Amino acid sequence: MLTGVTEGFLCCLLGSPPNAVGPLESVESSDGYTFVEVKPGRVLRVKHAGPAPAPSRPPPPDTAQGGRAGLVRCQRRITVYRNGRLLVENLGRAPRADLGHGQGGCEPPAALEVELAEPSGAEGRAHAGGVGSGRRRRTRRPKRTIHIDCEKHITSCKGAQADVVLFFIHGVGGSLAIWKEQLDFFVRLGYEVVAPDLAGHGASSAPQVAAAYTFYALAEDMRAIFKRYAKKRNVLIGHSYGVSFCTFLAHEYPDLVHKVIMINGGGPTALEPSICSIFNMPACVLHCLSPCLAWSFLKAGFARQGAKEKQLLKEGNAFNVSSFVLRAMMSGQYWPEGDEVYHAELTVPVLLVHGMHDKFVPVEEDQRMAEILLLAFLKLIDEGSHMVMLECPETVNTLLHEFLLWEPEPCPRALPEPQEPQLESAEKK
């Protein structure tokens, strides 16, 4: 800790950014790692693994219910009023099913009226209520209305299917190493997996320009990775800040994103950096405080703080980024478009996984997300915290696999209306 303080004071005196290092060399670069240049001079390390390529076979035709297996009709009307109210009306029947563990999906209300949350912190988050709850507002003129009416063909994603790819996106301070248990598990089951290091994290390049770490810059990186590896049915798995990039890709590519999994991702509110935050301090000060920040992350990110958790934190290469990158990442979380309306427009099935001991993301935020989304399951893990995929890998892997295999029950075909018998005329000539 004294070394970090000394280096921080030298940084302040010399005026140079601390820990300004390039990407780490990957020892296993020849074993499943690829370095992708998403932009000139901007290189991301990607873990790409899967089964050996097999001759592609056409998927078997759906015979049940006349080819209607997995077919879902998504009907929703979203009305934004000028007084800041949001009315979400579910016009169709959303499929729900119990995935077997934790809290299962519940039938969504026919209508949900909420107040649009302010993007700055939890104080401005919305509270759900019935259509007729609360005092009636005088101003009820709609600002805009969004109609959603489409059909989604949601199918079971099984291992060794050539058209299925799983994308894993980590959050601030992490790396692709936090997904080790999940990557190994799904590769053994025959899935193709893709896990990138965000810029400035893991072994990816770390530009010393704050603009390189805005939400939009990182989102474009993820778009480039997605377009490079995407196939017909793609599943996005995000953790914490990585959930926002999954939401962005699902909104941009609704025909390519088949399912989404959000792990401790928070509520459906627009991103805006906090003004009063420790991460607004100069990078050299953050460098001095880095041992304290690492300890705070250990206490807040894990349900227990023993030797096992410290080893998991080290193996996962979590919270091991330079103070400059950390400061730029936190101050660059500006995404005003990602509000409740943006999330309510999603028609892709979503699994939300929440560790009940998470001190970064309250469970109320994930519950709020489940209310806004059209097709959502919320699963609670009592023993987990923010880094639940490291703490409870078996439970997380089971939940993820069950969701991949899930498909909605076939929609019953409408029966023809009975016709009245044609009676002959009583008068015969």
Q: Of 242, 196, 240, which Cα lies nearest the Cα of 355? A: 240
Q: Of 365, 342, 270, which Cα lies nearest the Cα of 78? A: 342
For residue 304 the two structure tokens come to: 């227990």
Count H helices and E strands in the chain, helices first. Answer: 12, 12
The residue count of the chain comes to 429
d(C-alpha 167, C-alpha 21), whole Å: 27
> Active-site residue among 354, 358, 366, 401?
358
Distance of CA 305 to the CA centre of its chain: 26
Task: Determine whether 358 is an active site residue.
Answer: yes
Q: Do β-strands 71-81 and 85-90 pair in parallel, antiparallel, or remain unpaired?
A: antiparallel
Element (H, E) at 394: helix 393-405
Q: Of 377, 328, 317, which Cα lies nearest the Cα of 352? A: 377
> Active-site residue among 175, 205, 240, 323?
240
Mutual angle of helices 307-315 and 290-301, in 10-degree steps: 110
d(C-alpha 35, C-alpha 173), whole Å: 19
d(C-alpha 190, C-alpha 194), whole Å: 13
Q: Quick check: 269 and 333 in contact, CB under 8 A?
A: no
Distance of CA 423 to the CA centre of its chain: 62
Task: Determine whether 149 is an active site residue.
Answer: no
Task: Determine whether 386 is an active site residue.
Answer: yes
CB-based contacts of 417, cutoff 8 Å, min separation 6: none
Catalytic residues: 240, 358, 386
